[in-house]
Amino acid sequence: MLELRSLPTDCAARRSDSVCATCGARAFSVCSSLGVDDLAGLDAIAERVSLKSGEALIRQGESAVHLFNITSGSVRVYKLLPDGRRQITGFLFAGDFVGLATGQDYAFSAEAIEDATLCRFRKADYRALIRERPALETALLERATHELAAAQNQMLLLGRKTAQERIASFLLDLPERDPIRPTEAGHIRVPMTRAEMADYLGLTIETVSRGLTKLKTAGVIRLLSLNEMLVDRPERLRAIAEGEA
Amino acid sequence: MLELRSLPTDCAARRSDSVCATCGARAFSVCSSLGVDDLAGLDAIAERVSLKSGEALIRQGESAVHLFNITSGSVRVYKLLPDGRRQITGFLFAGDFVGLATGQDYAFSAEAIEDATLCRFRKADYRALIRERPALETALLERATHELAAAQNQMLLLGRKTAQERIASFLLDLPERDPIRPTEAGHIRVPMTRAEMADYLGLTIETVSRGLTKLKTAGVIRLLSLNEMLVDRPERLRAIAEGEA
DNA sequence: CGGCCATTTGATTGTCATCAAACTTTGTGG
DNA sequence: CCACAAAGTTTGATGACAATCAAATGGCCG
């Protein structure tokens, strides 16, 4: 199911968010995403993985042997209850890591929500590498604490915000997480479906749809297509997200 | 407001969860909590802090100069919405760190929910120390990833579980987070109020109270006092928590 | 063009919040 | 040690927001 190729060695040289000529990946590479200059060691232990929309890279309960860094595309991370209820705990984009958590088995699943490319590492290899490169570990710790802060925000959203507030918050957060910046300001790329938004926001599809319609009717946003929105009144959106309306 | 004393140097030697003769702290010390042997350097930059129940150690929005490790007692970490709605993002106990997140200002508040003692570090000092001791950073990264996994569980709880499932989940998780183990199995120490439980579970006080009463009526738990419970049917509690009932 | 799936819109229901009051525990001072 | 006040908790009645059930519309791909 996973299409594998070896990682071109000069990928370590990529620092910008432009296209990499060798491996064709858009956006950030592992190296640039960590802000570390010389990570030649990473190439040696990395495999390149291509996923089509919907394909899984991590399955809850399986042995946690790999660790991934997203090169392009988007990924959903989620947990399931026995009866099938799903909570998406995060959307990940180019530059993000998946599977860092220690532990015998994966405690979550991860799937591409659009075609994606990734770098794959064996955890054992990666741990060995880290021992020689403290800068790598520092960068990872910084990332982990950022993710923890984001997780706390999401808990506030899920525990205490109304449906309308959750939707507004989501529209504000999404563009600053996604490294693919659209040309126009206020333009939001929405690579996920309504069902995925709902499972991320702790709502149903219908409530998400109604909430977006309400924002549209209020003149706060425009729905350019199912996957593209335009924020006409960002200050209004911000006020709604914080419950000040 | 904060009572400060210098940290006795031999605190670094503590490895068990017993009482420290020198500084009087119960449970884990910084050192034992990280599983690192020789952390003499930490003592040099640590201050000892005592808090009475309700006192704050971190205030949302203030400059993030300090970092804490809890020596004894319990702490609530929370975020507020402008209109006062509160989400408690976690309860912390002896051995836990608070304030690791990078960033100019604290993005949350933290207060003691019962009398507590802590070790306080200046972030700048602590960063300098880390540079010389990679083992410390490794331990912190491990902790951070554990906390991330816990945060994902909490998102599942807040986004997709019913009131009854949330309460059952909470009663199952609490004892394994709290290092103070009661003598009897199935005995749960509940150092927080119903209001705090509610703000952690995304519910109201009334719903929490009703849920506990329901568990009691069903013969799943007994309420020994407001702050002590006994689980009579753990398998039942687990089934409820996972939505299998 | 037709079929399928995702999304939107509408009607109704249910769970939990809100409002309200009684009860219990805790701490304080006489 | 008891009496009282204050805070926290439980229990009850009602209401609101979002879920569920249901149907129509719209977009996409063969």
The answer to whether residues B219 and B177 belong to one domain is yes
User: And the tokens for A17?
Assistant: 């968010």
Question: CA A106, C1' D26: Å apart?
Answer: 39
**Which position has the higher pLDDT, B231 or B139?**
B231
Does a structural domain hold residue A143?
A: no
Report CB contact under 8 Å: A107, B160.
no
Q: Which residue of A has its CA nearest to B138?
A: A137
Residue A123 CB-half CA count within 13 A: 15
In whole angstroms, what is the distance from residue B46 CA to residue B164 CA? 42
pLDDT band at A36 (very low <50, low <70, confident <90, very high): low
Q: Is residue A144 situated within a structural domain?
A: no
- Partners of B243 on chain A (C-beta within 8 Å) are 81-83, 85
Q: Which of A136, A171, A199 is the last residue of a domain?
A: A136
| Mean pLDDT, residues B87-101 taken together | 95
Domain limits for position A29: 3-136
Look-up: residue for tokens 């199935």?
B186
Look at A178-182, B58-62, B63-67, B149-153 and tell me which has the smallest mean pLDDT: A178-182
Q: List CB contacts (< 8 A) between A154 and chain B.
A: 151, 155
Counting one residue from A and one from B, how many pairs have CB atoms under 8 Å apart? Answer: 135
- Which residues, by CB, come closer than 7 Å to strand D? A 162-164, 202-204, 206-207, 225-226; B 193-195, 205-206, 208-210, 212-213, 223, 226
Q: Are residues A126 and A167 in the same domain?
A: no
Q: Is the CB of A226 under 7 A from strand C?
A: yes
Tell me the mean pLDDT in the region A215-228: 97
Cβ B140–A142 below 8 Å, yes or no? Answer: no
Would you say residue A146 lies in a domain? no
Does residue A91 form part of some domain? yes
**CB-based burial, A184-209: b 16+ in 10 Å, e otherwise:** eeeebebbbebebbbbbbbbeeebbe
pLDDT of residue B9: 31
In total, chain A counts a number of residues equal to 245
Q: pLDDT, tens digit, for every residue of B31-49? A: 455 655 445 567 778 899 9
pLDDT confidence band for A66 (50 / 70 / 90): very high
CA separation for the pair A104, A114 (Å, rounded):
28
**Residue A26 pLDDT grade (very low, low, confident, very high; cuts 50, 70, 90):** very low
In a domain, B146, yes or no: no
User: Picking from A174-183, A228-237, B11-20, B113-122, which range would have the lowest pLDDT averaged per residue?
Assistant: B11-20
pLDDT at B120: 96
- Tokens 């705090």 belong to residue: B196
In this structure, the answer to whether residues A116 and A177 fall within a common structural domain is no
* List of chain B residues whose C-beta atoms are within 8 Å of the C-beta of residue A144: 141, 144-145, 148
Q: What is the pLDDT of residues A168-198, one digit of tens each?
A: 999 999 999 999 987 788 999 999 999 999 9
Query: For residue B95, what pLDDT is reported?
Result: 92
User: What are the chain A neighbours of B145 within 8 Å (beta carbons)?
Assistant: 100-102, 144
Grade residue B17 by pLDDT with cuts at 50, 70 and 90: very low
Same domain, A81 and A184: no
Q: Is A208 found in the same domain as A97?
A: no
Judgement on whether residues B218 and B129 belong to the same structural domain of the protein:
no
Q: Which nucleotides of strand D come closer than 7 angstroms to any CB of the protein? A: 8-13, 17-22, 27-28
pLDDT in tens, A85-138: 999 999 999 999 999 988 899 999 999 999 999 999 999 998 899 888 888 889
Our count of domains for chain B comes to 2
Q: What is the mean pLDDT of chain A?
A: 86
Same-domain check for residues B165 and B124 = no
Kindly state whether residue B152 falls inside one of the protein's structural domains: no
Two tokens at B22?
């020198």
Q: What pLDDT score does A2 carry?
A: 30
Residue B130 located in a structural domain = yes
- Yes or no, beta carbons of A152 and B107 under 8 Å apart: yes
Residue with minimal CA–C1' distance to C5 is A193
Give the gap in angstroms from C-alpha A8 to the nearest C-alpha of chain B. 29
Asked if residue B166 and residue B107 are part of one domain, the reply reads: no
Phi, psi for A195 (deg, rounded to 5): -60, -40
Closest Cα in chain A to B199: A159
Encoded tokens for B155: 């998102």
Residue B140 lies in a domain: no
Lowest mean pLDDT segment, chosen from A12-26, A149-163, B171-185: A12-26
- Beginning with the edge strand found earlier in the chain, give each strand of the sheet holding A109-112 in spatial order: A56-58, A109-112, A74-80, A86-93
Both A54 and A15 in a single domain?
A: yes
